[in-house]
Amino acid sequence: MKNFANPFHTPTHRQPARKLKIAVVGAGYWGPNLARNLQASPDWDLMAICDLDIGRASKLAATLGEIPVVESLDELLDTVDVDAVAIATPAHTHHGTVMTALRAGKHVLVEKPLADSRAHGLEMVAEAEANGLVLMADHTYCYTPAVLKMQELVQAGSLGEILFVDSVRINLGLVQPDVDVFWDLAPHDLAILDFVLPGGLNPAEVSAFGADPLGTGRDCVGHLNFRLPNDGTAHVHVNWLSPTKIRQMVIGGSLRTLVWDDLNPQQRLSVYDRGVSLDRQPKSPGERKTNAISYRLGDTWSPALQEREALSQVVEELAFCIRHKREARTGGASGLRVLSVLEAVTRSLGQDGQAAEVAGAELETSAARLERVR
């Protein structure tokens, strides 16, 4: 698939000639959200719910009307006519389920992380491309009005040069059976950075520290760091053990600083016209310390944002990309860049926080994609 969707597209296909047909695989915690949005969408006919736990599938189907339920993906593909499947099963099953669906000629929306390894992700992307099918990762936050506005402000240069990013995603989370806290939560932050930062998510190396203070068998608290271009730095803190819930990202720029507080619906975004300036031409080295640094104390403003559910945009984007043969804003390539960083995180954890190289600089970044569609 060689074309890429413009993330600013506002599809005008509100009354499509034919609704596309889809089934949801996985009726646990997240699958019902996908099912609800698909059923409410003018683009989609929700044809079936599939779960190995048929009771769970039936319970979800009962909330949605008379929707058939099936017990396995194979049964689904054999008995239900669909254009696409939306997969909301645990991360370690994504590769197997996605490959099965792609080989059956179905477009796929798969939950984050795209896969449980970069090698698996590469196979999935290659399979989708070879068959001309859409493979889209549900990096849900990239479809929120707040993150869209952040992307707009950063790409327009309103913040100036990006000096630092600090992202915090902590709360009392479910300890996942198959992935650590980095692979569970950091895909959100990394996908957002891939979408928002001018060069996309493209670090040469990453260092990470994790901890499992309760002895659960996997890291429940994690910190990862990487360099931004021009010596800036990005830090992501993810944590399943925090009794307080924080969803905050600060993007500090040479002109302005952006603060996203996702738990404050009255003011999710704040733009601070404040910062530190450095006079780069001090009169003498001795004067540098006292004279060179100054503080700007300007206004703070809050951009107006629409309130709308991100998943409604996710399912709209999936339909748009299928109809127009475009790669999604959070397509396979973006999913792969996130996996590349996560794998480097895992390697860094294994070497006591030393920086680990990130594979895949050859992958096209969001920014490069945007360049091409403009």
Ligand X SMILES: NC(=O)c1ccc[n+]([C@@H]2O[C@H](COP(=O)([O-])OP(=O)(O)OC[C@H]3O[C@@H](n4cnc5c(N)ncnc54)[C@H](O)[C@@H]3O)[C@@H](O)[C@H]2O)c1
28 binds ligand X (CB under 6 A): yes
Stretch that binds ligand X, among 44-52, 124-132, 208-216, 351-359 (CB under 6 A): 44-52
Comparing CB distances to ligand X, the nearer of 173 and 199 is 173
Half-sphere exposure of 171 (CA within 13 A, CB side): 10
- Where residue 123 falls (left for φ over 0; alpha for ψ -120 to 50; beta otherwise) is alpha
Binding of ligand X at residue 88 (CB under 6 A)? yes
The binder of ligand X chosen from 43, 83, 116, 138 (CB under 6 A): 138
Residue 303 to residues 11, 77, 246, 309, 358: CA-CA distances in angstroms? 23, 45, 21, 18, 35
- The smaller minimum CB distance to ligand X, of residues 93 and 151, is found at 93
Is residue 209 near ligand X by the rule CB under 6 A?
A: no
Q: How far apart are CA 159 and CA 271, in angstroms?
A: 9
Label residues 40-75 b or e (16+ Cβ within 10 Å = b): ebebbbbbbbbbeebebbeebbeebeebebbeebee
* Residues 50-69: x where in contact with ligand X by CB under 6 A, - otherwise, as a string: xxxx--x-------------
Q: Check binding of 335 to ligand X (CB under 6 A).
A: no
Nearer to ligand X, 28 or 132 (CB): 28
Is residue 189 near ligand X by the rule CB under 6 A?
no
Give the interface segment with ligand X, choosing from 20-28, 242-250, 264-272, 273-281 (CB under 6 A): 20-28
Q: Is 181 in the site for ligand X (CB under 6 A)?
A: no
Of 91 and 238, CB closest to ligand X: 91
Closest listed residue to residue 250, CA positions, set 234, 266, 263, 264: 234
Strand 241-253 with 233-239, pairing? unpaired
Q: By CB under 6 A, is residue 78 in contact with ligand X?
A: no
Q: Alpha helix locations (H) across 23-176?
A: 31-40, 54-64, 73-79, 94-103, 118-130, 145-155
Residue 29 sits in the site that holds ligand X (CB under 6 A): yes
Asked whether position 121 contacts ligand X by CB under 6 A, the answer is: no
- Could you tell me the two tokens for 5? 């969707």
d(CA 312, CA 267): 22
- The window from 12-20, 21-29, 230-238, 252-260 that contacts ligand X (CB under 6 A) reads 21-29
Q: Name which position in 24, 60, 61, 97 contacts ligand X (CB under 6 A).
A: 97
Contact 343, 20 (CB under 8 A): no
Evaluate the omega torsion of the peptide bond into residue 42 and state whether it is cis, within 30 degrees of 0.
no
**Which residue's CB is nearer to ligand X, number 56 or number 227?**
56
95 scored as a contact of ligand X (CB under 6 A): no
Minimum distance between the CB of residue 183 and ligand X, rounded to whole angstroms?
8
Task: Round to whole Å and give the CA distance between 267 and 256.
Answer: 17
Smallest separation (angstroms) from ligand X to the CB of 55: 10
Copy the structure tokens of residue 85.
Answer: 């499947």
In the bound complex, what is the minimum distance in angstroms from residue 231's beta carbon to ligand X? 32
Choose the stretch contacting ligand X; rule: CB under 6 A; options: 45-53, 221-229, 242-250, 357-365.
45-53
Q: Supply the DSSP string of 150-199, one letter for each residue.
A: HHHHHHTTTT-SEEEEEEEEEEE-PPPSS--HHHHHHHHHHHHHHHHSTT
Residue 36 engages ligand X in binding (rule: CB under 6 A): no
Kindly tell me which of 75 and 287 has the beta carbon lying closer to ligand X.
Answer: 75
Q: Which is nearer to ligand X, 125 or 179 (CB)?
A: 179
The contact set with ligand X (CB under 6 A) reads: 25-31, 50-53, 56, 73, 88-91, 93, 97, 111-112, 138, 140
